[in-house]
Structure 1
Protein backbone atom coordinates (compact mmCIF):
# COMPACT_ATOMS: atom_id res chain seq x y z
CA UNK A 1 0.00 0.00 0.00
CA UNK A 2 1.43 3.35 -1.05
CA UNK A 3 2.13 5.91 1.65
CA UNK A 4 1.08 9.53 1.22
CA UNK A 5 3.84 12.06 1.82
CA UNK A 6 2.54 15.56 2.43
CA UNK A 7 4.37 18.84 1.95
CA UNK A 8 2.63 22.14 2.70
CA UNK A 9 3.45 25.27 0.70
CA UNK A 10 2.16 28.79 0.18
CA UNK A 11 1.94 30.66 -3.10
CA UNK A 12 4.18 33.71 -3.51
CA UNK A 13 4.27 36.65 -5.89
CA UNK A 14 7.57 38.31 -4.97
CA UNK A 15 10.38 36.91 -7.09
CA UNK A 16 14.03 37.66 -7.67
CA UNK A 17 17.20 37.26 -5.61
CA UNK A 18 16.25 39.94 -3.09
CA UNK A 19 12.86 38.36 -2.40
CA UNK A 20 14.46 34.91 -2.08
CA UNK A 21 16.97 36.21 0.47
CA UNK A 22 14.19 37.74 2.54
CA UNK A 23 12.28 34.46 2.45
CA UNK A 24 15.29 32.50 3.67
CA UNK A 25 15.90 34.95 6.51
CA UNK A 26 12.30 34.42 7.62
CA UNK A 27 12.69 30.62 7.69
CA UNK A 28 11.07 29.91 4.31
CA UNK A 29 12.45 28.19 1.21
CA UNK A 30 11.59 29.49 -2.28
CA UNK A 31 10.46 26.85 -4.76
CA UNK A 32 8.93 26.47 -8.20
CA UNK A 33 6.24 24.03 -9.36
CA UNK A 34 6.01 23.31 -13.10
CA UNK A 35 4.86 20.75 -15.67
CA UNK A 36 1.62 18.88 -16.51
CA UNK A 37 0.82 21.48 -19.21
CA UNK A 38 0.21 24.19 -16.59
CA UNK A 39 1.89 27.49 -15.88
CA UNK A 40 4.84 27.44 -13.46
CA UNK A 41 3.94 28.55 -9.94
CA UNK A 42 6.26 30.14 -7.39
CA UNK A 43 5.75 28.86 -3.85
CA UNK A 44 7.44 28.91 -0.46
CA UNK A 45 7.87 26.08 2.06
CA UNK A 46 8.66 26.26 5.77
CA UNK A 47 12.33 25.31 6.12
CA UNK A 48 12.29 23.20 9.29
CA UNK A 49 9.44 21.01 8.03
CA UNK A 50 11.22 20.67 4.71
CA UNK A 51 14.55 19.83 6.35
CA UNK A 52 12.98 16.99 8.33
CA UNK A 53 11.34 15.61 5.18
CA UNK A 54 14.65 15.79 3.30
CA UNK A 55 16.24 13.34 5.76
CA UNK A 56 14.04 10.56 4.34
CA UNK A 57 14.75 8.52 1.23
CA UNK A 58 11.17 8.88 -0.03
CA UNK A 59 11.56 12.66 -0.34
CA UNK A 60 13.81 12.16 -3.39
CA UNK A 61 11.97 9.35 -5.20
CA UNK A 62 8.30 9.21 -4.16
CA UNK A 63 5.39 11.19 -5.51
CA UNK A 64 4.61 13.94 -3.01
CA UNK A 65 1.28 15.53 -2.16
CA UNK A 66 2.18 19.22 -2.35
CA UNK A 67 -0.57 21.34 -0.82
CA UNK A 68 -0.37 24.92 -2.12
CA UNK A 69 -2.85 27.20 -0.33
CA UNK A 70 -5.02 24.16 0.35
CA UNK A 71 -4.95 22.76 -3.20
CA UNK A 72 -3.10 19.44 -3.48
CA UNK A 73 -0.87 18.71 -6.47
CA UNK A 74 1.00 15.48 -7.19
CA UNK A 75 4.68 16.31 -7.69
CA UNK A 76 8.18 14.86 -7.86
CA UNK A 77 11.27 16.59 -6.54
CA UNK A 78 13.43 17.42 -9.55
CA UNK A 79 16.14 19.62 -8.05
CA UNK A 80 17.27 20.82 -4.63
CA UNK A 81 19.95 23.42 -3.95
CA UNK A 82 21.72 23.31 -0.60
CA UNK A 83 24.00 25.81 1.12
CA UNK A 84 27.64 24.72 0.61
CA UNK A 85 28.35 24.37 4.35
CA UNK A 86 25.23 25.29 6.35
CA UNK A 87 22.38 22.90 7.06
CA UNK A 88 20.13 24.96 4.84
CA UNK A 89 18.01 24.25 1.77
CA UNK A 90 18.13 27.17 -0.66
CA UNK A 91 15.71 26.29 -3.46
CA UNK A 92 13.51 23.49 -4.78
CA UNK A 93 12.08 22.48 -8.15
CA UNK A 94 8.93 20.34 -8.14
CA UNK A 95 7.58 18.65 -11.27
CA UNK A 96 3.82 18.12 -11.49
CA UNK A 97 2.84 14.62 -12.59
CA UNK A 98 -0.17 13.58 -14.64
CA UNK A 99 -1.77 10.26 -13.73
CA UNK A 100 -2.17 9.34 -17.41
CA UNK A 101 1.36 10.19 -18.56
CA UNK A 102 4.42 8.00 -18.04
CA UNK A 103 7.26 9.61 -16.13
CA UNK A 104 10.91 8.91 -15.55
CA UNK A 105 12.39 8.92 -12.08
CA UNK A 106 15.41 7.55 -10.23
CA UNK A 107 14.48 4.93 -7.67
CA UNK A 108 16.76 3.61 -4.87
CA UNK A 109 17.88 -0.01 -4.90
CA UNK A 110 17.57 -1.94 -1.63
CA UNK A 111 19.84 -5.01 -1.50
CA UNK A 112 18.42 -7.77 0.71
CA UNK A 113 19.56 -11.24 1.91
CA UNK A 114 23.20 -10.65 1.01
CA UNK A 115 24.38 -12.09 4.33
CA UNK A 116 22.37 -15.29 3.66
CA UNK A 117 23.86 -15.86 0.21
CA UNK A 118 26.70 -18.31 -0.61
CA UNK A 119 28.93 -15.33 -1.42
CA UNK A 120 27.96 -13.55 1.80
CA UNK A 121 28.82 -16.62 3.87
CA UNK A 122 32.21 -17.21 2.23
CA UNK A 123 35.29 -15.76 3.88
CA UNK A 124 37.45 -13.48 1.75
CA UNK A 125 34.66 -12.51 -0.64
CA UNK A 126 33.88 -8.86 -1.33
CA UNK A 127 30.38 -7.98 -2.54
CA UNK A 128 30.28 -4.54 -4.17
CA UNK A 129 27.15 -2.56 -5.04
CA UNK A 130 27.99 -0.81 -8.31
CA UNK A 131 24.71 1.16 -8.45
CA UNK A 132 22.51 2.43 -5.64
CA UNK A 133 19.66 3.72 -7.81
CA UNK A 134 18.16 3.15 -11.24
CA UNK A 135 16.09 5.29 -13.59
CA UNK A 136 12.70 3.77 -14.34
CA UNK A 137 9.72 4.66 -16.51
CA UNK A 138 6.11 4.10 -15.48
CA UNK A 139 2.77 5.72 -14.77
CA UNK A 140 2.67 7.65 -11.47
CA UNK A 141 0.46 5.01 -9.83
CA UNK A 142 3.13 2.36 -10.47
CA UNK A 143 6.14 4.35 -9.25
CA UNK A 144 7.84 2.42 -6.43
CA UNK A 145 9.60 4.22 -3.56
CA UNK A 146 12.41 1.65 -3.90
CA UNK A 147 13.18 -1.62 -5.68
CA UNK A 148 14.40 -4.68 -3.77
CA UNK A 149 17.23 -6.74 -5.22
CA UNK A 150 17.25 -10.22 -3.68
CA UNK A 151 20.83 -11.49 -3.31
CA UNK A 152 20.01 -14.74 -1.50
CA UNK A 153 21.33 -16.82 -4.44
CA UNK A 154 24.47 -14.71 -5.02
CA UNK A 155 27.47 -17.01 -5.50
CA UNK A 156 31.19 -16.31 -5.67
CA UNK A 157 32.05 -14.84 -9.07
CA UNK A 158 28.48 -13.77 -9.84
CA UNK A 159 27.67 -10.46 -11.52
CA UNK A 160 24.10 -9.18 -11.27
CA UNK A 161 22.99 -6.90 -14.12
CA UNK A 162 20.15 -4.41 -14.51
CA UNK A 163 18.21 -6.88 -16.67
CA UNK A 164 18.08 -9.32 -13.74
CA UNK A 165 16.18 -6.95 -11.44
CA UNK A 166 12.65 -8.10 -10.69
CA UNK A 167 10.60 -5.00 -11.49
CA UNK A 168 7.16 -4.14 -10.08
CA UNK A 169 4.13 -4.20 -12.35
CA UNK A 170 4.11 -1.47 -15.01
CA UNK A 171 7.75 -0.46 -14.42
CA UNK A 172 10.52 -0.59 -17.04
CA UNK A 173 14.16 0.46 -17.20
CA UNK A 174 14.57 2.67 -20.32
CA UNK A 175 18.33 2.12 -20.53
CA UNK A 176 17.84 -1.55 -21.41
CA UNK A 177 16.16 -0.59 -24.68
CA UNK A 178 19.46 0.84 -25.96
CA UNK A 179 21.40 -2.42 -26.18
CA UNK A 180 23.46 -4.86 -24.12
CA UNK A 181 26.15 -2.27 -23.41
CA UNK A 182 23.60 -0.45 -21.23
CA UNK A 183 22.87 -3.55 -19.16
CA UNK A 184 25.16 -2.39 -16.36
CA UNK A 185 26.43 -4.49 -13.49
CA UNK A 186 24.79 -3.61 -10.19
CA UNK A 187 26.39 -6.22 -7.90
CA UNK A 188 29.71 -8.08 -8.14
CA UNK A 189 30.92 -10.87 -5.82
CA UNK A 190 34.64 -11.62 -6.03
CA UNK A 191 37.65 -12.64 -3.96
CA UNK A 192 39.22 -9.85 -1.95
CA UNK A 193 42.65 -10.87 -3.30
CA UNK A 194 41.52 -10.26 -6.89
CA UNK A 195 40.12 -6.85 -5.93
CA UNK A 196 43.38 -5.94 -4.19
CA UNK A 197 45.44 -6.92 -7.25
CA UNK A 198 43.18 -4.91 -9.58
CA UNK A 199 43.49 -1.88 -7.32
CA UNK A 200 47.25 -2.17 -6.97
CA UNK A 201 47.98 -2.62 -10.69
CA UNK A 202 46.91 0.87 -11.85
CA UNK A 203 48.74 2.44 -8.92
CA UNK A 204 51.92 0.62 -9.85
CA UNK A 205 51.56 1.75 -13.45
CA UNK A 206 51.32 5.35 -12.35
CA UNK A 207 54.76 5.28 -10.64
CA UNK A 208 57.37 6.37 -13.19
CA UNK A 209 60.48 4.25 -13.55
CA UNK A 210 63.60 5.74 -12.04
CA UNK A 211 65.73 7.45 -14.64
CA UNK A 212 69.44 6.72 -14.37
CA UNK A 213 71.74 9.21 -16.04
CA UNK A 214 75.18 7.91 -16.93
CA UNK A 215 78.10 10.33 -16.74
CA UNK A 216 79.13 11.67 -20.11
CA UNK A 217 82.43 9.98 -21.00
CA UNK A 218 83.30 12.78 -23.39
CA UNK A 219 82.94 15.48 -20.77
CA UNK A 220 86.24 16.70 -19.29
CA UNK A 221 86.99 15.78 -15.69
CA UNK A 222 86.78 18.65 -13.24
CA UNK A 223 90.09 20.30 -12.45
CA UNK A 224 91.53 19.71 -9.03
CA UNK A 225 92.13 22.82 -6.97
Structure 2
Protein backbone atom coordinates (compact mmCIF):
# COMPACT_ATOMS: atom_id res chain seq x y z
CA UNK A 1 0.00 0.00 0.00
CA UNK A 2 2.80 2.39 0.86
CA UNK A 3 4.49 1.80 -2.46
CA UNK A 4 1.32 2.46 -4.45
CA UNK A 5 0.84 5.76 -2.62
CA UNK A 6 4.48 6.61 -3.19
CA UNK A 7 4.09 6.04 -6.90
CA UNK A 8 1.16 8.43 -7.14
CA UNK A 9 2.96 11.17 -5.26
CA UNK A 10 6.38 11.00 -6.91
CA UNK A 11 7.72 11.20 -10.42
CA UNK A 12 10.52 9.01 -11.77
CA UNK A 13 13.29 11.41 -10.84
CA UNK A 14 13.04 14.04 -8.15
CA UNK A 15 15.52 16.87 -7.94
CA UNK A 16 15.47 19.66 -5.39
CA UNK A 17 17.07 23.08 -5.91
CA UNK A 18 19.12 22.09 -2.89
CA UNK A 19 21.30 20.47 -5.54
CA UNK A 20 22.37 24.03 -6.34
CA UNK A 21 23.67 24.30 -2.79
CA UNK A 22 25.51 27.57 -2.25
CA UNK A 23 28.09 27.65 0.52
CA UNK A 24 29.21 30.67 2.51
CA UNK A 25 32.22 30.52 4.79
CA UNK A 26 35.47 28.61 4.51
CA UNK A 27 35.06 25.97 7.22
CA UNK A 28 35.65 22.43 5.95
CA UNK A 29 32.63 20.13 6.04
CA UNK A 30 34.26 17.35 8.01
CA UNK A 31 35.37 19.71 10.79
CA UNK A 32 31.87 21.07 11.45
CA UNK A 33 29.85 17.86 11.47
CA UNK A 34 27.61 17.07 14.42
CA UNK A 35 29.46 14.78 16.79
CA UNK A 36 26.83 14.05 19.45
CA UNK A 37 23.14 13.20 19.49
CA UNK A 38 22.54 16.21 21.76
CA UNK A 39 23.67 18.63 19.03
CA UNK A 40 21.32 16.97 16.54
CA UNK A 41 18.33 17.19 18.90
CA UNK A 42 15.12 18.27 17.20
CA UNK A 43 15.99 16.94 13.72
CA UNK A 44 14.31 13.99 12.02
CA UNK A 45 16.79 11.17 12.37
CA UNK A 46 17.72 8.88 9.49
CA UNK A 47 19.92 6.02 10.66
CA UNK A 48 22.55 4.97 8.14
CA UNK A 49 25.39 2.49 7.77
CA UNK A 50 28.62 3.24 5.95
CA UNK A 51 29.28 1.36 2.72
CA UNK A 52 32.73 1.09 1.19
CA UNK A 53 31.92 0.79 -2.50
CA UNK A 54 29.39 1.86 -5.10
CA UNK A 55 28.17 0.41 -8.37
CA UNK A 56 25.12 -1.31 -9.82
CA UNK A 57 25.92 -4.77 -8.46
CA UNK A 58 26.58 -3.53 -4.93
CA UNK A 59 23.52 -1.28 -4.98
CA UNK A 60 21.34 -4.19 -6.11
CA UNK A 61 22.60 -6.29 -3.21
CA UNK A 62 21.88 -3.45 -0.77
CA UNK A 63 18.31 -3.08 -2.06
CA UNK A 64 17.70 -6.84 -1.79
CA UNK A 65 18.54 -6.48 1.90
CA UNK A 66 15.76 -3.94 2.39
CA UNK A 67 18.04 -0.92 2.31
CA UNK A 68 18.54 2.07 0.00
CA UNK A 69 21.98 3.24 -1.21
CA UNK A 70 22.65 6.87 -0.35
CA UNK A 71 25.29 9.56 -0.63
CA UNK A 72 25.83 12.57 1.62
CA UNK A 73 27.71 15.25 -0.29
CA UNK A 74 29.98 17.52 1.76
CA UNK A 75 30.37 20.72 -0.18
CA UNK A 76 32.42 22.74 -1.06
CA UNK A 77 35.15 20.08 -1.23
CA UNK A 78 32.74 17.69 -3.00
CA UNK A 79 33.63 14.94 -0.53
CA UNK A 80 31.18 12.05 -0.52
CA UNK A 81 29.95 9.88 2.32
CA UNK A 82 28.66 6.54 0.99
CA UNK A 83 25.87 5.16 3.19
CA UNK A 84 22.70 3.06 3.11
CA UNK A 85 19.32 3.66 4.76
CA UNK A 86 16.46 1.35 5.71
CA UNK A 87 14.02 1.44 2.78
CA UNK A 88 11.02 1.79 5.10
CA UNK A 89 12.58 4.88 6.73
CA UNK A 90 13.08 6.62 3.37
CA UNK A 91 9.57 5.75 2.15
CA UNK A 92 8.08 7.03 5.41
CA UNK A 93 9.81 10.39 5.02
CA UNK A 94 8.86 10.76 1.35
CA UNK A 95 5.21 10.10 2.13
CA UNK A 96 5.30 12.45 5.13
CA UNK A 97 7.10 15.38 3.53
CA UNK A 98 5.87 15.24 -0.05
CA UNK A 99 7.80 16.02 -3.21
CA UNK A 100 9.01 19.51 -2.40
CA UNK A 101 9.23 18.99 1.35
CA UNK A 102 12.04 16.45 0.97
CA UNK A 103 14.24 19.09 -0.67
CA UNK A 104 13.98 21.64 2.16
CA UNK A 105 14.01 19.35 5.18
CA UNK A 106 17.07 18.99 7.40
CA UNK A 107 17.69 15.45 8.63
CA UNK A 108 19.99 14.14 11.31
CA UNK A 109 21.85 11.49 9.32
CA UNK A 110 23.11 9.23 12.10
CA UNK A 111 25.89 7.12 10.59
CA UNK A 112 26.55 3.96 12.61
CA UNK A 113 29.76 1.99 12.69
CA UNK A 114 29.92 -1.72 11.89
CA UNK A 115 28.58 -2.96 15.23
CA UNK A 116 25.86 -0.30 15.38
CA UNK A 117 26.96 0.96 18.80
CA UNK A 118 28.43 4.34 17.87
CA UNK A 119 27.02 7.10 15.69
CA UNK A 120 28.40 10.17 13.96
CA UNK A 121 25.73 12.77 13.24
CA UNK A 122 25.55 14.81 10.03
CA UNK A 123 22.83 17.42 9.49
CA UNK A 124 21.86 17.12 5.82
CA UNK A 125 19.19 18.53 3.52
CA UNK A 126 17.47 16.28 0.97
CA UNK A 127 18.74 16.57 -2.59
CA UNK A 128 17.60 13.84 -5.01
CA UNK A 129 15.53 10.66 -4.95
CA UNK A 130 15.55 8.10 -7.75
CA UNK A 131 12.47 5.87 -7.95
CA UNK A 132 11.83 3.07 -10.44
CA UNK A 133 8.64 3.98 -12.30
CA UNK A 134 7.23 0.49 -12.83
CA UNK A 135 7.89 -0.89 -9.32
CA UNK A 136 7.94 2.26 -7.14
CA UNK A 137 11.18 1.01 -5.56
CA UNK A 138 13.43 3.76 -4.18
CA UNK A 139 16.69 3.16 -6.04
CA UNK A 140 18.90 5.69 -4.23
CA UNK A 141 18.90 9.00 -2.40
CA UNK A 142 21.35 11.86 -2.03
CA UNK A 143 21.62 14.60 0.57
CA UNK A 144 23.85 17.62 1.16
CA UNK A 145 25.72 18.07 4.43
CA UNK A 146 24.26 21.25 5.90
CA UNK A 147 25.57 22.45 9.29
CA UNK A 148 23.56 25.15 11.12
CA UNK A 149 25.87 28.00 10.06
CA UNK A 150 25.97 27.13 6.36
CA UNK A 151 23.76 28.89 3.80
CA UNK A 152 21.94 26.82 1.18
CA UNK A 153 19.51 27.49 -1.64
CA UNK A 154 16.31 25.49 -1.24
CA UNK A 155 12.78 25.46 -2.66
CA UNK A 156 10.14 25.66 0.08
CA UNK A 157 6.51 24.59 -0.56
CA UNK A 158 3.65 27.08 -0.46
CA UNK A 159 0.65 26.18 1.71
CA UNK A 160 -2.74 27.75 0.92
CA UNK A 161 -5.37 28.51 3.55
CA UNK A 162 -8.68 30.37 3.67
CA UNK A 163 -10.26 28.49 0.75
CA UNK A 164 -13.47 27.78 2.68
CA UNK A 165 -14.33 31.51 2.91
CA UNK A 166 -12.72 32.76 -0.31
CA UNK A 167 -15.31 34.86 -2.24
CA UNK A 168 -13.74 34.00 -5.59
CA UNK A 169 -13.96 30.27 -4.95
CA UNK A 170 -17.52 30.58 -3.66
CA UNK A 171 -18.39 32.35 -6.91
CA UNK A 172 -17.19 29.33 -8.86
CA UNK A 173 -13.56 30.28 -9.41
CA UNK A 174 -10.48 28.13 -8.98
CA UNK A 175 -6.94 28.65 -7.74
CA UNK A 176 -4.28 28.87 -10.43
CA UNK A 177 -1.05 27.84 -8.68
CA UNK A 178 1.47 29.86 -10.66
CA UNK A 179 4.16 28.61 -8.31
CA UNK A 180 3.91 25.88 -5.69
CA UNK A 181 7.29 26.60 -4.12
CA UNK A 182 9.52 29.50 -3.16
CA UNK A 183 13.27 29.68 -3.75
CA UNK A 184 15.13 31.05 -0.75
CA UNK A 185 18.63 31.27 0.68
CA UNK A 186 18.74 30.20 4.32
CA UNK A 187 21.08 28.99 7.02
CA UNK A 188 20.94 25.33 7.87
CA UNK A 189 19.26 26.14 11.18
CA UNK A 190 16.68 28.49 9.63
CA UNK A 191 15.24 26.63 6.63
CA UNK A 192 11.44 27.08 6.64
CA UNK A 193 9.24 23.99 6.34
CA UNK A 194 6.68 25.95 4.29
CA UNK A 195 5.26 29.40 3.48
CA UNK A 196 1.59 30.33 3.74
CA UNK A 197 -0.67 32.39 1.49
CA UNK A 198 -4.13 33.47 2.65
CA UNK A 199 -6.81 33.51 -0.07
CA UNK A 200 -9.75 34.26 2.26
CA UNK A 201 -10.32 37.78 0.84
CA UNK A 202 -9.64 37.12 -2.86
CA UNK A 203 -12.19 37.58 -5.62
CA UNK A 204 -12.05 36.21 -9.15
CA UNK A 205 -9.13 37.88 -10.93
CA UNK A 206 -7.22 38.70 -7.74
CA UNK A 207 -3.60 37.64 -7.30
CA UNK A 208 -1.16 37.07 -4.48
CA UNK A 209 2.50 37.85 -5.13
CA UNK A 210 5.75 36.68 -3.59
CA UNK A 211 5.77 40.01 -1.77
CA UNK A 212 2.73 38.77 0.20
CA UNK A 213 4.80 36.05 1.84
CA UNK A 214 6.05 36.52 5.38
CA UNK A 215 9.79 35.91 5.10
CA UNK A 216 11.72 35.22 8.33
CA UNK A 217 14.55 37.57 9.21
CA UNK A 218 17.30 35.02 8.56
CA UNK A 219 15.92 33.96 5.17
CA UNK A 220 16.54 35.70 1.83
CA UNK A 221 13.87 35.51 -0.87
CA UNK A 222 15.31 34.61 -4.29
CA UNK A 223 12.11 35.23 -6.24
CA UNK A 224 10.96 38.43 -7.96
CA UNK A 225 8.77 40.03 -5.29
CA UNK A 226 6.52 41.51 -7.99
CA UNK A 227 5.84 38.12 -9.58
CA UNK A 228 2.48 36.45 -8.85
CA UNK A 229 2.42 33.21 -6.87
CA UNK A 230 -1.27 32.43 -7.44
CA UNK A 231 -4.42 33.83 -9.02
CA UNK A 232 -8.14 33.18 -8.63
CA UNK A 233 -9.34 32.20 -12.10
CA UNK A 234 -12.74 31.62 -13.61
CA UNK A 235 -13.49 27.97 -14.31
The interval holding the TM-score normalised by the smaller chain is: 0.7 to 0.9
Is 1:189 equivalent to 2:229 in the alignment? no
Q: Distance in 2 between matches of 1:15 and 1:126?
A: 48
Is 1:54 equivalent to 2:94 in the alignment? yes
| Structure of higher RCO (CA pairs closer than 8 Å, 6+ residues apart) | 2
Where does 1:15-34 land on structure 2 (aligned, <5 Å)? 15-34=54-73
Q: 1:8 to 1:143 in 2, by over 3 A?
A: same
Where does 1:123-142 land on structure 2 (aligned, <5 Å)? 123-142=171-190
Larger Rg, first or second structure (1 or 2): 1
| Corresponding position of 2:207 | 159
Is 1:93 equivalent to 2:142 in the alignment? yes
Q: Distance in 1 between matches of 2:175 and 2:94?
A: 29
Query: In the comparison of the two structures, how many residue pairs are matched?
Result: 185
Q: 1:172 to 1:27 in 2, by over 3 A?
A: same
1:168-191 alpha-carbon deviations (Å, 9 max, x no partner): 232222132xxx7xx432211133
**Structure 2: gaps of 5 or more residues:** 1-40, 113-118
1:82-112 alpha-carbon deviations (Å, 9 max, x no partner): 0121121001111001322211111111001
- Residue 175 of structure 1 aligns to a residue whose secondary structure is coil
**Structure 1: gaps of 5 or more residues:** 193-225
Q: Distance in 2 between matches of 1:116 and 1:170?
A: 32
| Corresponding position of 1:149 | 197
Shift of 1:136: 1.1
| Alignment TM-score, normalising by the size of structure 2 | 0.72
Shift of 1:36: 4.1
| Corresponding position of 2:29 | none
**After TM superposition, which residue ranges in structure 1, 4 or more long, deviate above 6 angstroms?**
none
Shift of 1:7: 0.6
Equivalent residues of 1:114, 1:154 under 8 A apart: no
Shift of 1:37: 4.4
Q: Which has the higher helix share?
A: 1
Q: Distance in 2 between matches of 1:130 and 1:3?
A: 33
Q: Calculate the aligned-residue CA RMSD, in Å.
A: 1.9
Shift of 1:140: 1.5
| Alignment TM-score, normalising by the size of structure 1 | 0.75
